[in-house]
């Protein structure tokens, strides 16, 4: 292509920058055109005319603009290389107060990373100008990207967000295509000259034709350019934006004292607006989903109906009644029953008429529907004092109140719960039906209910076929001599032939369920904290599959606990794919 023989020349004088406009609906094209008409030259001065946000919020959906300025680029060149241009945006959580002298490795965590979709067409603005070298032009490409500002995992004293954009020019698809039938030369390319062609008529070499390509002797000088081509660029300078949490949320549980066939828990959901805000917040969405259970809102009364307008430091509490779909009578051997609770909250921050950021908070937690305790079991009498005396006793199943027994629970258990002797509650949840050859995962949720920190390792133990418990029977040896009985010599237990025959007759034990997670480390877990992880498995046979156990190893004390109460697995054949 004339004027751009090297693809890397497109980004040689390119400049990248990002904009976080105060008003998401601002007309970027009019603002940039007006700044260019006023004589703005460099990109920062052009973008300075657009008002930007001074304060950002965690858990916010933030619209961002990425601006790329190209120099001396025509419309034909832009249309040719634009489909190969990949634009990326990374958002870092940093502490501007930290310096290299204070900390050799300043805190810097990526909280968002995304690539602009190739289906999105950028806004293109051409600007021609008169320079010392003649007439030139600048081409401004503007993309829209919605980012989500999640909270960093590390604790940062004074957090700020840094937006860094990057662009790369991918190689052409046609240049990477090769002829699959020719592994050595592209089509229509002549082979190298054979330097030993005159020796082909030698009678001594009648069976072998000597061949030495000229490329082995001639020195090939690669084509050089004055400057190396540029295929990727990155934003050089980023302006840090101050960020604060706009709201905080938490959930608490209270078990009802009355015992019934279905244990009931009351959940209190608190939504509190932080004092960092100086404006109102519209709390408009609160969704909860309980697996294997029902949720009944108890705060659906006038005055607490969403949306609610909250001021800074306001705390709104929503109360829900959580009821599982199964009772303790369905599994008397289980001492703990848990369900997964998904919580989703949404609110709008009313900063101004043209700026209303939206925040969203989502998380998953466990709800413990343990067996109800007998409230009539009082404190210990003065005549009997024990250090390990329980505070209450579980009621027997025969004393439960009469009521309808739920029958909508599947016969295949998708979840299993266990309470270990070391003060740890562990639950497994996963699909009950899987496909042979397709890996699946069990969600493992561990709660440390002890009063000391703990660190564990999880190891899946596959099930082995049971070995015949009968011992080896004494068989007469084929090489024994009858005269040994007269010499009071004991007969041989077995001989080499029998041992060899027994080894050949042993059938190999094929694995039916393989664990892809060899060793899972959990912790350290402080008292009262929880951890969620995954255990990946691969079924290799059809039918009902089982693990022997999941071994829980205390790393500090090497104490092991085998958990055998696990979910059911039913493996089906792979669906056939028609040709």
pLDDT digits (tens, 9 = 90+) for 43-69: 888 888 889 999 999 999 999 999 999
Cα Rg for the chain, rounded, in angstroms?
Answer: 36
> Is-contact 271 288, C-beta < 8 A?
no
> In this predicted structure, what is the pLDDT of residue 436?
84
Range(s) within the chain of domains with CATH label 2.60.40.1470: 246-368
Residue 355: pLDDT band with limits 50, 70, 90:
very high
Q: Which of 78-92, 195-209, 497-511 has the highest mean pLDDT?
A: 78-92
Is 83 or 200 the better-scoring residue by pLDDT?
83
Estimate the share of the chain in helix, then strand, then coil, as percent rounded to the nearest 5. Answer: 10, 40, 50
Q: What is the pLDDT of residues 147-161, one digit of tens each?
A: 999 999 888 888 999
Question: Is the pLDDT at 399 greater than 50, yes or no?
Answer: no
Could you tell me if 458 and 551 are in contact, meaning their C-beta atoms sit under 8 angstroms apart?
Answer: yes
Confidence at residue 226, expressed as pLDDT on a 0 to 100 scale = 53
Residues of each domain in the chain carrying CATH 2.60.40.10: 415-465+511-572
Residue 503 has pLDDT above 50, yes or no: yes
Q: What is the pTM of this model?
A: 0.58
415-465+511-572 topology per CATH: Immunoglobulin-like (2.60.40)
Dist CA 351 CA 54 (whole Å): 11
Q: In terms of Cα–Cα distance, which of 275, 563, 515, 285 is closest to 418?
A: 563
Q: How confident is the model at residue 394, as a pLDDT?
A: 46
Cα dihedral across residues 87, 91, 97, 100: positive or negative: negative
Of residues 559 and 262, more confidence is placed in: 559
The 3 state secondary structure assigned to 305-334 is: CCCEEECCCCEEEEEEEEEECCCHHHCCCC
DSSP run (H or E) holding 77? helix 75-81
Please confirm whether the linkage preceding 544 is cis (ω < 30° from 0).
no
Closest CA to 371 of 341, 404, 338: 338
- Rounded average pLDDT over 447-475: 69
What is the spatial distance between Cα 269 and Cα 414, in angstroms, rounded to a whole number?
27
Question: Which tops the pLDDT comparison, 395 or 66?
Answer: 66
The predicted structure's pLDDT at residue 99: 55
CB atoms within 10 A of CB 112: 18
Helix (H, G, I), strand (E, B) or coil at 32: helix
Q: Which of 70-79, 135-144, 507-516 shows the lowest mean pLDDT across its residues?
A: 507-516
Topology annotation, domain 246-368: Immunoglobulin-like (2.60.40)
Which residues does residue 165 pair with via DSSP β-bridges, in sequence order? 89
């Amino acid at each position: 292509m004339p004027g751009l023989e090297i693809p890397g020349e497109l980004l040689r004088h390119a400049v990248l920058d990002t904009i976080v406009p105060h008003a998401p609906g601002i007309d970027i094209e009019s603002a940039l055109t007006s700044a260019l008409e006023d004589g703005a030259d460099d990109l920062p001065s052009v973008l300075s005319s657009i008002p930007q946000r001074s304060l950002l919020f965690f858990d916010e959906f933030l619209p961002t603009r990425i601006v790329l300025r190209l120099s001396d680029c025509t419309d034909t060149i832009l249309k040719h290389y634009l489909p190969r241009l990949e634009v990326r945006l990374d958002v870092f959580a940093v502490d501007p107060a930290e310096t290299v002298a204070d900390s050799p490795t300043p805190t810097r965590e990526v909280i968002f990373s995304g690539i602009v979709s190739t289906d999105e067409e950028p806004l293109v603005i051409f600007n021609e100008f008169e320079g010392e070298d003649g007439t030139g032009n600048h081409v401004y490409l503007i993309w829209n990207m919605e980012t989500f500002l999640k909270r960093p995992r590390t604790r940062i004293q004074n957090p700020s967000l840094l937006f860094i954009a990057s662009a790369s020019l991918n190689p052409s698809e046609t240049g990477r295509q090769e002829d699959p039938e020719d592994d050595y030369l592209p089509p229509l390319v002549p082979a190298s000259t054979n330097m030993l062609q005159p020796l082909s008529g030698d009678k001594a070499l009648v069976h072998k034709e000597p061949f030495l390509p000229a490329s082995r002797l001639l020195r090939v000088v690669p084509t050089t350019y004055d400057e190396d081509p540029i295929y990727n660029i990155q934003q050089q300078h980023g302006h840090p934006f101050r960020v604060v949490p706009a709201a905080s949320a938490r959930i608490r549980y209270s078990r009802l004292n009355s015992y019934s066939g279905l244990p009931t828990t009351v959940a209190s959901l608190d939504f509190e607006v932080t004092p960092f805000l100086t404006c109102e917040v519209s709390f408009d969405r609160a969704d909860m989903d309980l697996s294997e259970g029902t949720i009944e809102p108890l705060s659906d009364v006038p005055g607490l109906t969403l949306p609610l307008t909250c001021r800074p430091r306001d705390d709104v509490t929503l109360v829900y009644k959580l009821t599982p779909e199964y009772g303790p009578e369905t599994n008397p051997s289980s001492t703990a029953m848990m369900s997964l609770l998904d919580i989703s909250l949404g609110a709008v921050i009313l900063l101004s008429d043209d700026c209303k950021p939206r925040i969203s908070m989502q998380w998953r937690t466990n709800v413990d529907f343990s067996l109800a305790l007998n409230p009539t079991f009082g404190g210990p009498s003065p005549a009997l004092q024990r250090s390990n005396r329980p505070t209450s006793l579980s009621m027997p199943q025969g004393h439960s109140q009469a009521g309808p027994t739920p029958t909508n629970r599947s016969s295949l258990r998708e979840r299993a719960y266990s309470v270990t002797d070391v003060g740890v509650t562990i639950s497994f949840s996963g699909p009950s039906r899987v496909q042979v050859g397709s890996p699946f995962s069990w969600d493992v949720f561990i709660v440390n209910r002890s009063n000391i920190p703990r660190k564990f390792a999880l190891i899946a133990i596959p099930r082995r076929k049971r070995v015949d418990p009968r011992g080896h029977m004494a068989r007469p040896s084929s090489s024994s001599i009858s005269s040994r009985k007269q010499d009071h010599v004991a007969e041989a237990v077995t001989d080499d032939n029998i041992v060899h025959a027994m080894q050949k007759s042993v059938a190999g034990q094929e694995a039916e369920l393989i664990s892809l997670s060899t060793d899972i480390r959990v912790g350290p877990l402080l008292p009262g904290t929880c951890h969620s992880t995954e255990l990946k498995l691969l079924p290799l046979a059809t039918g009902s599959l089982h693990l022997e156990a999941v071994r829980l190893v205390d790393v500090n004390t090497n104490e092991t606990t085998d958990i055998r109460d696990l979910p059911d697995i039913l493996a089906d054949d792979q669906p056939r794919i028609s040709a």
